[in-house]
Structure 1
Amino acid sequence: MLMRILLIVLVILVLVLLALSFHIVPQNYEGLVETLGKYSRTVKAGFVMIFPGVQRIRKVSLALQPLEISKYRIITKDNAEITTSLTLNYLVTDSYKYFYNNTDSVESMVQLIRGHLRDIIGRMELNEALGSTSQINAQLAEAIGDLTDIYGIRVVRVNVDELLPSPEIQKAMDKQLTADREKTAAIARAEGEARNIELTTKAKNDALVATAKANAEAIKTQADADAYRIKKLQESLDSAGEGYFRNQSLDSFNQLAQGPNNLIVVDKDEISNLGKIPAAKKIWDQSKKED
């Protein structure tokens, strides 16, 4: 009876030991087998058999993992303080290095990235850094390169999410931005007023030129009309006979005799020319009526 009990206990112990001996390493994991606390081998995903109590297995994920690096402060080349935060994706490329070469490989990787980012931004002035996020990302990715390989880690992507100046600098930048906008608006208003004055002056000048041209045309037209009348007058006088001018001269003397001033001294050769005066007047008045 006692032997049977011992046999049953022995079978149970064997079954328990067998159960403890078999482990499953999930997909995209590796297992690090330790014997008496010392690394012995690396196993892939699947069933793994170890000696319980003597060996243990540590499972390391090989999948891509995201990581957010909390905000921290950096001083730029022109002594401005900015706050930055990063996100990255990494994966374990060597489970042995990842687990045994460092007590915390992820934290070591984060410190390495922070150090390189401080160095990159520290060589830039504030305005340059704020406008060069993509350039900073490229420089940071190139700087870390394969350096994280010593931790058994490869950084697939690293991205600077934000670069924020200190509150004091932000206030100063807001004031500067407001001043720049007001300056731009003032320049735009001044240019608009100058353009308006220019257009108004041009319109006035064009009006003056047009008026001057119109006056000149009117004067020219009047001069042409007067010249035409004088020409016609001369032609009429030239075509009139001497008898006509004598009659006009007699009429002129009669009118002078009837007026208050009836004394006139004229050369005898020019007496006949007096008749041309009323004749010319009649012809002139007639030409103006025709116009």
Structure 2
Amino acid sequence: MIETLGKYSKTVKAGFVFIWPIFQRIRKVSLALQPLEISKYRIITKDNAEITTSLTLNYLVTDSYKYFYNNTDSVESMVQLIRGHLRDIIGRMELNEALGSTSQINAQLSDAIGDLTDIYGIRVVRVNVDELLPSPEIQKAMDKQLTADREKTAAIAKAEGEARNIELTTKAKNDALVATAKANAEAVKTQADADAYRIDKLQASLSKAGDGYFRNQSLDSFNHLADGQNNLVVVDKDDMTDLGKIPAAKKVWDQADSSNDE
């Protein structure tokens, strides 16, 4: 840009330019893309938490006249504009929401800036929130909360493990009891089947025996009774023959028992 007697006169491109010494002078403005880092500053969130943020951006000059003559410091004005919009965006968020929404904040900030910097002859090509850091006090509180949550999760996991162990142990004991009960029931059933078999054999054997056999057994029974101290026995005459069935039944029972054991 060429000034004549301290007043803007025209804009020329880079290269060989003829000016009148003393009366004219040249002011250079770079039109290249330029990076800029905005230093850290504090912002208060919706829930009154203090966070520190820093930004980086890329901008370029689109209108050298506006950039140089419409504002004494167009770059600083642009920075203040961006800071104000970022403060407004984060101020409408709670701390946890802001810390987890960096990409969303970048998009909202780009939309908010839009073409507002055109008044300074500048266009912001890219803006990025590099970091959002809570204050040390809040960070300590968050660390304590995180530790408490981890301890709570570990305690719950331990309790669940112990409960599962108790459940499995109880189930194993119950299964053992059920198995023992089934085994006992099977043993009782087997014994009952064996007894029934002996009784059937006894009844079959007794039904085949003749009356003479029972009379002989009755005589033997009386002989044994006579050998004892009390040799007086009173029996109905109709029941005398039945006495022989007692030793006969014992013999048959013993034979059935021995055959079942074999």
Give TM class, smaller chain.
over 0.9
> Match of 1:63, as an amino acid?
A
Letter in 2 for 1:207: A
Q: Does 1:60 align with 2:29?
A: yes
Please tell me whether residue 78 in structure 1 is matched to residue 60 in structure 2: no
Q: Shift of the alpha carbon at 1:81? A: 0.7
Given candidates 230, 245, 249, the residue that maps to 2:218 is: 249
- For residues 237-281 of structure 1, what are the alpha-carbon distances to aligned partners after superposition, in whole Å with 9 as ceiling and x for unaligned? 111111111111111111122123433333221211111111111
Distance 1:58 1:215 in 2: 110
1:214-247 alpha-carbon deviations (Å, 9 max, x no partner) = 1111111111111111111111111111111111
Runs of 4+ in structure 1 deviating by more than 4 angstroms, as ranges, are none
2:14 to 38, 42, 45: 45
Give the counterpart of 1:119 among 77, 84, 88.
88
Note the C-alpha offset of 1:57. Answer: 1.4
- Name 2:103's counterpart in structure 1: 134
1:15 aligned residue:
none
TM-score where L is the length of structure 1 = 0.87
* C-alpha spacing 1:265/1:49, structure 2 compared with 1 (3 Å): farther
Q: Which of 100, 107, 124 is equivalent to 1:155?
A: 124
Question: What is the identity, as a one-letter code, of the residue corresponding to 2:157?
Answer: A
Say which SS state the counterpart of residue 82 (structure 1) adopts: strand
Higher strand share: 1
| TM norm structure 2 | 0.96
Residue in structure 2 matching 1:202, options 162, 167, 171 = 171
Alpha-carbon offset, residue 67 of structure 1: 0.8
Quote how far apart the aligned CAs of 1:123 are: 0.6
Please show how residues 24-43 of structure 1 align to structure 2 within 5 Å.
32-43=1-12
Gaps of 5+ in 2: none
SS at match of 2:28: strand
Q: Distance in 1 between matches of 2:89 and 2:138?
A: 20
The aligned amino acid for 1:132 is S
- Number of aligned residues: 260
Aligned residue for 2:25, secondary structure, equals: strand
SS at match of 1:39: strand
SS in 1 for 2:27: strand
1:227 paired to 2:188:
no
In structure 2, do the counterparts of structure 1 residues 264 and 106 end up closer, same or farther at CA, with 3 Å as the change threshold? farther
Alpha-carbon RMSD across the aligned residues, in angstroms, is: 1.2
- The aligned counterpart of 1:23 is none
Matches within 5 A, 1:159-178: 159-178=128-147
Matches within 5 A, 1:207-286: 207-286=176-255
Residues of 2 paired with 1:198 and 1:260: CA distance?
Answer: 68
- What do the CA deviations read for 1:175-226 (whole angstroms, capped 9, x no partner)? 1111111111111111000000000000101111111111111111111111
> Could you list the per-position Cα deviations for residues 108-127 of structure 1 after superposition, in whole angstroms to 9, with x for gaps in the alignment?
11101110111011111111
2:72 paired residue number? 103
Q: For residue 172 of structure 1, report the CA deviation from its aligned partner.
A: 0.9
Gaps of at least 5 residues in structure 1 are 1-31
Paired-residue identity, %: 89
Per-residue deviation, 1:287: 1.7
Change (3 A) 1:269 1:79: same
User: Secondary structure, in 3 states, of the residue corresponding to 2:231?
Assistant: coil
Cα–Cα, structure 1 residues 95 and 247, in superposed 2: closer, same or farther, change >3 Å? same
Post-superposition CA distance 1:35-90 (Å, at most 9, x none) = 11111111123222222222211111111111111111111111111111111111
SS at match of 2:32: coil
